[in-house]
Amino acid sequence: MVFANNHEFKEACKEYGIKHRYQIHFPTNDKKRVKATHFKKCGWYIWASKLNPKDPTYMSMQIKSRKFEHACGKVFTNFHITSKWLASHYLEIFRHDPDWSIPGIITRVKAYTLTINPIKAWRARELALKAINGDEAVQYGRYILDTGNKAIITMLEMIRNKLMTKLFKKRDMKQKDSSQTPPMPTRATQETLHD
């Protein structure tokens, strides 16, 4: 099997470890070769090295040797399940439900029979929402750069218009999502139903 570079090989090994509940780490990790082993040193390993080690521009790596038999148990926590991994792995769910609850995220990760703490779930939600909506500080900086050569009053007015447009778009999206769910009955409507 050939990988584009050592990063792609390591990501594939991490995904394997997460899916099969093994802790994979990389004791040998440089530009020319990478060795993936089990954290408990049970004998499982994969060696990958560059196809052409003399060419510094050619980064493709190929698996050279391997031993796929594990002699150890599975784990319930994996240090490769980071908030960044969670955010990218569940990005579409966050896109459809930006208010996805922390317990809901933790329950979804339990489908892998792994556990995460609430802080990691919260960080994953924050990273995913930044990826979806954009970072406000970066966008505000872009607004300033777009209007940098204008007079100060014009610049502030342009920034205000852009920010208000973004705010209204977000509000409209929330109203559109909430209009698809039935309204909660109020106390007055409940009393009229019971009378």
**pLDDT value of residue 139:** 67
Q: What are the pLDDT digits (tens) for 109-119?
A: 888 777 888 99
Q: Domain tally for the chain?
A: 3
In a shared domain, residues 143 and 124? no
Average pLDDT over residues 34-47: 85
Q: Let me know whether 128 and 144 are in one domain.
A: no
13 and 45 fall within a common domain: yes
Name the residue with tokens 């609430």.
118
The model carries a pTM of: 0.60
At 35, phi and psi to the nearest 5?
A: -120, 125
**CA count, 13 A, side-chain hemisphere, 26:** 17
pLDDT for position 122: 92
Task: Answer with the one of 12, 37, 67 that is the final residue of a domain.
Answer: 67
Q: Are 86 and 25 in contact (CB under 8 A)?
A: no
Asked if residue 156 and residue 99 are part of one domain, the reply reads no
In this predicted structure, the answer to whether residue 136 has a pLDDT above a threshold of 80 is no
Question: What is the domain extent for residue 114?
Answer: 81-133
Q: Are residues 9 and 57 in the same domain?
A: yes
Residue pair 39/80 in contact by the 8 Å Cβ criterion: no
On whether both 100 and 90 belong to a single domain, the answer is yes
Residues 121 and 149 grouped into a single domain: no
Establish if 23 belongs to a structural domain.
yes
pLDDT of 189 above 60 = no
Question: What is the C-alpha to C-alpha distance for residues 85 and 147, in angstroms, rounded to an integer?
Answer: 36
- Among 107, 131, 128, 127, smallest CA distance to 118 is for 107
Q: Does the residue 25 lie in any domain? A: yes
Q: Is residue 86 part of a domain?
A: yes
Tell me the C-alpha distance between 21 and 121, whole Å.
19
Task: Answer yes or no: do 156 and 122 share one domain.
Answer: no
Task: Clarify whether residues 41 and 61 are in a common domain.
Answer: yes
